Chains A and B, each alone.
Chain A
Amino acid sequence: MTNTDLTPFNLAEINVADDSNAFHKLQYGALQRARALELPSFEEEVWRYTQINDLDLSKYSIGAPGGEMQARGLTADVVDAAAVLEVVNGEVVTSQINDPNVSIFTELDDENVASGVGSVMTDAVDIFAEYNHALSTSPLVIRIARNSVVEKPIVIRHATSETDFAWFPRVVVIAEENSEATILEHQVSTDVEALICPVTEITAGQSARLKYLTVQELGPRVWQLASQISDIGRDAHVAVSHVAFGGGYARARIDTRMVGSGATGDIGAVYFGRKDTTLDFRTFQKHDAPHTNSNLLFKGAVDDRSRAIYTGMIRIEPDASDVVAYQTNRNLKLSDEAWAESVPNLEIENNDVKCSHASAVGPVDADQRFYLESRGVPSEVAEALVVRGFFAEVLEDFPIPSIGIKTLERISELLSLEGVSL
């Protein structure tokens, strides 16, 4: 693919060569499919409650202008890493490997890139994933070697600082058999107009243990339309965690598929909306195999005029017996104008399962606040402490402890607790 003038974002005018290498052939096919698709409407269930109809693609240009890595936000302190990948405005600017068990492929003509991209998301989950397939300029394919333990985190930073720009981060992680690794992916931007459509594909081979943590700190005018999909193999354990703070409209569709017998998927999220942000999560826990577990816990708060949407589906296929699946979403509504919706769902085709779902949207618990106030803690501080505690419960057991602490510090700042010594 050439990065010559591709403005405006109009698929009819985009050309992708289909003859240069295997990856380009993939892109060409995806582009043909994308051209046949229409933008979604909020009338579709999976886009319900969203402002997707306000998305104007013609505002954005496509390209990979690159640039310098600027603020590293919440992950700035994570310096001791097994590998560091930094992608700025669609261009890979840093690719540094410090652990021999980690391999990273970024060249478009590399066979690992062509075979990795689309290996889990064989069919794009929506038009934005198809765009990603067609237009990604900077796919990252990460392999964790068989039987290895990668102790330090692999850090991926995606930074956006160019305005009026659309781009399509793609990360493919292949955790080979009996490997262990932790990956931290960070989406950060300055206050620019941008459309970012990331796709993350995760494969965990037999008995692999993978933690994948995503931190989203995008500016208030950014549209994020992300999808993450994981295939968890036999006796493997994948924990995906999401921290989300920003964006104008920031969506993450998270598919977790327990495909091998004995697979376990943990899906967690901590999110805090303020000002006019909309945070939108769509989760799918799919049990294809017996003896599988999945456990989802999403906790969020909405302040100011922000909105949060959670819809979740647990699907248990007929052959999946001895399954345990949980889905919990709790939202705190911190202002009158904030809004949150939570819709859990179950589809169970097998009798030998243990499933539960729970969801809640409500204000801070009055009894908890009263308890703290009765000790002499002023009302506003008491409320902030209860909110902080609501998140602390999850963040104390976070996959990367230092990120859990940083996240809690950020939440304390948002709650004006920074002057309070805790």
Chain B
Amino acid sequence: MVKLVVEGLEASVGGKQILRGINLEVSSGQVHAVMGPNGAGKSTLSNVIMGRPGYVATAGSVSIDGTDVLSLPTWERAQLGLFLAMQYPTEVPGVSIRDTLSLALTSRGISSENVVGRLLDEALAIGLNPELLDRSLNVDLSGGEKKRNETAQLAVLQPSIAILDELDSGLDIDALKACAERIEALTKNQLGVLCITHYHRLLDYLPADTVHILVDGKIVESAGPELAVELEAEGYSRFLPDKQDANDGVSVAIGGLSLLKPSLVDEDPFADPMA
């Protein structure tokens, strides 16, 4: 049993504060969805947990089974059991997925003997063309292929906690179903998931135990899966702060009426400058 604990996490990007005190706990086998409007800080949350350069934790803590994560370099976080399926997987010319996963396994002290076979099995299971496995990482892959590639790597590396940063974006329904169901199967095998998404459709195939609503760098509501359904129908408006509150950085009145007009939402006042 592994537990990821995020406590009072604050983070900034380019000197601008994005996260304003996040509290979360994800245990083995659980699926936690984090939903929220554009610019709420969802991607910042995933990047700061994984240690992407430019994302600075300014307060609070992240730990796995009591081990402080934030003081570790990214690769040690990965070896501790964290995995980030990226929203925009980076192209790495001249470096193959096979070499990367071999090194990722051997540097964990795990044999990489069968990595090619396992990768091939995972690719076939989620409909990723095996020919793409010979290419440089993510180079010339379509958006959907990149997401399947992330999923195949996740399945081979078998982390204890996976953070999915908008895994569903760019995936057609068949690919979404294949990736989500593969990850869902891994949760039966004790994988814990922190799933960041805009839409409910991912959660149809990867049912969440808990849904958190992230607005302006804070989790404003947490509830069961029914919350995601409600959001799909009604949108985020009831969670959005009015202008006064946003400027003061005061916590949001949950359940209050939103005074924000849609046009202001489009302006994306909390946009992640690194996104």
Q: Which residues of A contact B (CB under 8 A)?
A: 366-368, 370-379, 381-382, 385-386, 388-393, 396, 420-422
Contact = CB atoms under 8 A, between A and B. Distances in A.
Nearest to A380: B75
Interface stretch (B98-106, B216-224, B245-253, B263-271): B98-106
B73 to A, nearest CB: 6
Interface string B176-198: 00000000000000000000000
Contacts of A378: 75, 107
Contacts of B104: 375-377
B270 to A, nearest CB: 22
Nearest to B84: A374
A375 B90 contact: no
B67 to A, nearest CB: 15
A391 B94 contact: yes
Chain B: interface size category: 35 or more
Interface majority SS on B: helix, strand, loop or mixed? mixed
B75 A377 contact: yes
A420 B95 CA distance: 13
A375 B138 CA distance: 14
A375 B99 CA distance: 11
A371 B75 contact: no
Interface in B47-65: 50-54
Interface of B: 50-54, 73-75, 78-79, 83-84, 86, 89-95, 99-108, 112, 136-138, 153, 157
The prevalent SS among residues of A at the interface is: helix
Nearest to B85: A374
Given A371-B138, A374-B50, 7 more contacts: A371-B137, A377-B103, A378-B107, A385-B92, A385-B103, A389-B93, A389-B94
B107 A370 contact: no
B44 to A, nearest CB: 15
A372 B107 contact: no
A373 B90 contact: no
Nearest to B102: A421
A420 B91 CA distance: 22
B107 A377 contact: yes
A393 B94 contact: yes
A373 B73 contact: yes
B78 A386 contact: no
Contacts of B112: 421
